[in-house]
Amino acid sequence: MITGAGTGAGTGMGTGGKTGGGTGGKTGGSTGASGAARRAAGALFGRRARLRWVHLVLGGALLMPYWMLSAVLLGSLDQRNGPVRQLLLHFAALGLSLPMAAVTALVPIVRALEGATARALCTPARPDEVVTGPARSWAARWRTAAWYVLHVLFGGVVSGMTLAGTPFAVVLLLAPTGLAELVRFWEDRGFPGWLPGPLTGLALLTLIVCTSAGLGALLARWAPVLLGPTPDERVAAAERRATVLAQRNRLARELHDSVGHALSAVGIQASAAARVLRTDPDFAAEALAAIEETARGAVAELDAVLGLLREEDGTEAGPAGPTLAGLDDLLRQLARTGVEVDAVLAPGLDRLPAAFSREAYRIVQEGLTNVLRHAGPAPARLRVGPVGGRLEIELTNPLGPHRPSRPGGGRGLRGIGERAAALHGGCEAGRADDGTTWRLAVWLPLGGER
C-alpha cells in the first residue's frame, strides 16, 4: 500500500511538473518571439517608418534638380552611350550633384527648413535638440550642409529603389511565367537573360523596405548632431537662461523685501488697532493712519518692482525704491509697530552710489522685518557705517518665543545672502555667543560692482 501510494504520487507529481514546466517554457518562448516580431514589423512598417520614408522621398525630390544639371553636364542622358557607360555616368552625375547641394545648403534659411522637416517627419529621439531657426554661424552652416548632403543622398537611393524596384518586384510576383519579353529586354542591353521568379521579387521588396527603415533610422540618429545647437549656441542659451533666472530671483527678492515687509507691518498694526479699538481710540486711529501710510508706500514700491517687468529695450532699469537715506522713515514705521531700534547710522550714507545704497537698504529692511515677524515688539540694535573700505551692517535683537531655530533661515536670509554676493560681499546670521541674541552681520565692499 505504501509503495503503491508513493509510486503513484511520485509519478503524478513528476508528470505534472514536467508538463507544467514544458508548457510554461513554450508559452514564454512564443510570447517573446511574437513580441520581437511585432517590434520588427513596427520598425519596418509602423507610423514612424512611414514618416521617415516620406522624409527620404522628399530628399530624393530635392536631389533631382542637382542630378539633372549634373547629368546634362556629363552627357549621361545621351542614348548613344552603352548601358554600362550610361550607368557609370549616372553615378558620376550623382557624385557631382552632392557638392552642388552642399553649396546651396550654406544659405542660413536652409537650416530652419531642414530642422522643421526633420522634427515633423524624421522623428528623431530628441526632437527638442533639433534647431528650427536659421544658421547664424559658419559652424552651423557646415553642419547643415553635411546634413543636407546626407538627406538628398539617402533620399535619392530610397526614391530610386522605390520608383524602379517596386514595379519590377511586383511584376516578378504577379507574372512569374510571362517574363519572356523582360528576358529579351535585358538580353538586348547586354545583361544576363536569367531572371528569377517570385522569391526574388519578394526579396527585392524586403530589401527596399529594410533600406528605407535603416537609412531613416540613421538620419534620425544624426539629426540632433548635425541640426542641433553648436557649442557656441549652447553657451549662448545657457547665458540667456542664467540671465532669466537672475531676473526672476531679482524680482522675487524685490517682492519679498518690499511687499512682504509692508504686509507684516500692516498685519501687526491692524492687530494692535483691533485690540484697543474701544479702550484707546486715539491709538487705534494712529495705527490706522500708519496702515494707510504703509499701504501707500507699498503700492509705490510695487509699481517700481513691476516696472522691471516692462523693460522692453533689453537694458536694466535704473535703481528704483528707497535707499539708505530713507532709513529714518523705515525706523519710524517700525516704531509704530512696537519695535524700538537703537540705530547708529554713520554720516554720509546718502552719498553712496544709488544702486549700492538701494541694495543695502533692502538688506536692512529684511533684517528688521525678521525682527518684527519672529521676535515681536522687542528692542533691536542697528549699526550701519563704513569700516576699512567696506560698508558693515550689524543687527542684533533678543530671541523671541517664536524665533525659528533652523539654520540658514528662510527666503529672507537667502535673499540677503544673494544681495550681498551680488555686491561681492558676504553675510552671517545666527545665534550670538550668549545664546539669547540673534545677530545678522553683512559686509559690502564700497568699491564692489554688480
- For residues 47 and 123, the answer to whether their CB atoms sit within 8 Å is no
β-bridge pairing 437-445 and 426-431: antiparallel
Q: What is the pLDDT of residues 90-132, one digit of tens each?
A: 888 889 999 999 999 999 999 999 999 999 999 888 888 899 9
Q: Which three cell numbers stand for residue 67?
A: 542630378
Q: Which three cell numbers stand for residue 397?
A: 535683537
> Residues, the chain, total?
450
User: Would you say residue 313 has pLDDT above 50?
Assistant: no
- The DSSP 8-state label assigned to residue 193 in this structure reads S
Confidence at residue 301, expressed as pLDDT on a 0 to 100 scale: 72
Mean pLDDT across the chain: 79
- List, in sequence order, every residue forming a beta bridge with 397; answer none if it has no partner: 438
pTM of the model: 0.58
Cα 175 to Cα 348: distance, rounded to the nearest angstrom: 103
- For residues 338 and 268, the answer to whether their CB atoms sit within 8 Å is yes
Q: Which three cell numbers stand for residue 259?
A: 511687499
- List, in sequence order, every residue forming a beta bridge with 395; answer none if it has no partner: 382, 440
Cα 364 to Cα 391: distance, rounded to the nearest angstrom: 12
Taken in order 235, 116, 109, 90, the sign of the CA dihedral is: positive
What CA dihedral angle connects 128, 159, 64 and 149, to 10 degrees?
A: 40
Q: How far is CA 134 from CA 144, 226, 241, 273, in A?
A: 10, 13, 20, 64
Task: Give the strand order in the sheet containing 390-398.
Answer: 341-345, 380-387, 390-398, 437-445, 426-431
Domain formed by 236-445, architecture: 2-Layer Sandwich (3.30)
Q: Higher-confidence residue: 431 or 66?
A: 66
Mean pLDDT of 41-65: 93
Mean pLDDT of 266-292: 76
Q: What is the pLDDT of residues 184-241, one digit of tens each?
A: 666 665 655 555 567 778 888 999 999 999 999 999 999 999 999 988 888 888 888 8
Q: Where in the chain is the domain with CATH 3.30.565.10?
A: 236-445
3-class SS of residue 385: strand
Taken in order 220, 221, 222, 226, the sign of the CA dihedral is: positive
The confidence band for 433, taking pLDDT boundaries of 50, 70 and 90, is confident
Q: What is the pLDDT of residues 371-428, one digit of tens each?
A: 877 777 778 899 999 888 899 999 998 876 654 444 444 567 888 888 888 888 999 9
Confidence at residue 388, expressed as pLDDT on a 0 to 100 scale: 84
Element housing 65 (H / E): helix 47-74
Nearest 5°: phi and psi at 282? -65, -45
